[in-house]
Amino acid sequence: MGRADSLQAECSCSYTSHQVPPAALNSAFRRGHGASAARHRPDRQRQARTGVIPSCRLDVRTRGDAPSSAAPQRPQHPPIPTYVKAAGRVIAIPDIHGDINKCVVSLELAGVLRQVNQRPVWCGGNTVVVQLGDVLDRGDIELGTLLMLRDLDEQARRFGGAIYVLNGNHETLTVAGNFRFATRGGMQESAKAMGVSGPALNDIVQLGMARRRMYKPGGPGAQMLAMNPTVLVVNDTLFVHGGLLPQHVDFGLQAINDAVSAWMRGEAPASSKDNAQMIAMGNAHSVVWNRMFGAKDFQKKGRAYVQRTLRTVLERVGATDMVIGHTPQVEGANMELDGQLWRMDVGMSMGVLNAAPQVLEITRDANNRSVKRVLTALPVTNGIPCGVPYCQIRW
C-alpha cells in the first residue's frame, strides 16, 4: 500500500432511513481500515421511497499527517472464503444494483429479515445467504446496501448463519475507476462518505474524484469489497457472478479469490494477461464477465457444448450445480441443463428492469439431496415492491 493510501479514518454518520443502522458503517470501515470507533448522530430527515442515503464524514490522513508518531500498521486480512459448509438453508439473491428496497424485499422473501422498531434484524437462524454480485452501479443506494448486508452478516453469524456477497463485474469496474454505469445518486452517496458536502455535491468532477478515492485499490470502499469472494462453493453448489470455465478451475478458485482481493486492497497491480486477475475479470471470458451460461438458448455456443463445459467444471470443482447472476433473464429466474444451471438475475433493480424480486432457496430432503425452489415476490406497483408475505413458488 502506497504512502498516500495508508489511511486512518473516523466516521461521523447519519442516516436518512431506518434500513441501515449506523453501527454497520462504523463496523465496516473499522474492519476495512483498522480505524478507531466512530461517532454517530441521528438524522431526523427521511428519504422517501429510495430507502437510505448514508452521510458519513471520513477524516482521511496520509501516513505523514497522522497525529500519532507511530506509523499505522497494515491490518491482518482473514482468508477469503472459497469452500463453505452450511447446516441450514442456503439462499441465493441476484444482482441488486443500488436498489436497497429490492434488497430488503428479497431478504424478507427469503425469510431471513424482519424489521423491529424500523430496523433490519436477522431472523434466518443458521441460513446462509449468497448475494451473487453487482451491488454497485445503476442505482443510488450502493454503499448503504453493502453496509446493511455486512451488518446483517454480523447478526447472522451469532446464530450459525452468514451472508456472503460476491464480487461481480460492476464491483471490479468501479475499483478499476470505470464509473460509466454509476448514477448521480450513487456518486453523491460515495462523495458524502468521503466528506464532500455543499455545492460540491452537484459538481460532477468533484463527485468523480470522491468516488475514485472511495473505491480505488486500497480505498475504504475497495477494502470492503476485498473481503468478499469472487467464487464460492457452499456444500455442493457453485456460486459465481458470470460463470466458471475449465480454464478458471485450472488456475484455482482460491487463487482467483486471493488475487482479486489483493488487487482491491491495493497490494497488487492489474496488468499481466496470464495472472489470476485477468482470469477473474480481464475480458469477456473471465469469471465476472462470462455470459456463455446466461445467454438465451445458449445461442453463441450451442446447448451441447455449454452442457459439456458445465459438466467438466462441476466435476472438477466437486459441485452438482452452478448458480449465476449477471445476465438479466427477462422471463424470470430459470433452471437449465437438467438442473445443473440456475440463472437468477431478473433485473430487479429500478435501474435495470424493475422486475419483481426472485430468490433461490436450497434445502435438503430426508436423503440429504439438494432441493431447490425459486421464490417470487408480488409484482411492483408504481416503483414500490408489493407486500412480500404473499409470494409465488416457481419451482
The predicted model gives 169-183 an average pLDDT of 96
| Residue among 33, 170, 248, 326 flagged as catalytic | 170
- The pLDDT assigned to 28 comes to 45
Which among 109, 87, 98 is positioned nearest to 348, based on CA atoms?
98
Q: How confident is the model at residue 279 (pLDDT cuts 50, 70, 90)?
A: confident
Report domain 79-393's class: alpha beta
- The pLDDT assigned to 281 comes to 85
Q: Is the pLDDT assigned to residue 38 strictly greater than 80?
A: no
In sequence order, the 6+-apart residues with CB closer than 8 A to the CB of 378 are 356, 385, 386, 387, 388, 390, 391
Please give the mean pLDDT across all residues of the chain. Answer: 81
Q: How confident is the model at residue 387 (pLDDT cuts 50, 70, 90)?
A: very low
How confident is the model over 207-234, as pLDDT tens digits?
999 999 999 999 999 999 999 999 999 9
The residue type found at 10 is: E
Is 170 one of the annotated active-site residues of the chain?
yes
Bigger pLDDT: 324 vs 29: 324
Least confident range from 16-30, 33-47, 80-94: namely 33-47
| C-alpha pair distances (Å), 356 with each of 332, 345, 378 | 9, 11, 6
Least confident range from 101-115, 140-154, 200-214, 278-292: namely 278-292
